[in-house]
Amino acid sequence: MAASTRRPRGASFNTRWRQACTAFTSVAAPGEGDDKPVVFNGENTVMVSGLLAGACGGIGATYNVTPGLFVQLWDAVQAGNMEKLARVQARLHQCWNATGVVELFAGIKQTLAWMGLECGVPRSPLRPLTEEETQRLRTALERIDFFDDPHDAR
């Protein structure tokens, strides 16, 4: 049997090391059209650098509670609108800091529930938030006016 000449068609980079993403998109798997690699940025906080390094989008946990902001981020990168990009990135940092007061996945599930999207509790070995953690998260989100308009980049 002949060796396969097929290359990977896609990857998700869950690291802040952008050089790996750039290498994959420009050297390891060049192509156009259907042969172009599909690369997703997997680290929420460095989505901009992932897009600039060649990622076509992102896969991240916090995208679920701030989808509108990530669409705005994408649009700003595509348009080269650095002023808008800075505003959106600043708002995202507020949201990340607020949700970061508790365990990530339990906090996201609780935030989604408050947004009307009940997702249940985290699967084992993770645990749901305690009452104290739930209150801490709610307070942190209210402090940044998250529930007024979570997608407002101001």
Q: How many CB atoms lie within 10 A of CB 12?
A: 18
> Helix axis angle, 104-114 relative to 131-143, nearest 10°?
70
The fraction of the chain above a pLDDT of 90, given in percent, is 55
- Model confidence pLDDT, tens digit, residues 101-134: 999 999 999 999 999 999 999 999 999 999 999 9
Predicted TM-score (pTM) of this structure? 0.77
User: What's phi and psi for 102, nearest 5 deg?
Assistant: -135, 175
Q: What's the token pair of residue 40?
A: 């997703």
Where along the chain do its domains lie? 6-59, 81-147
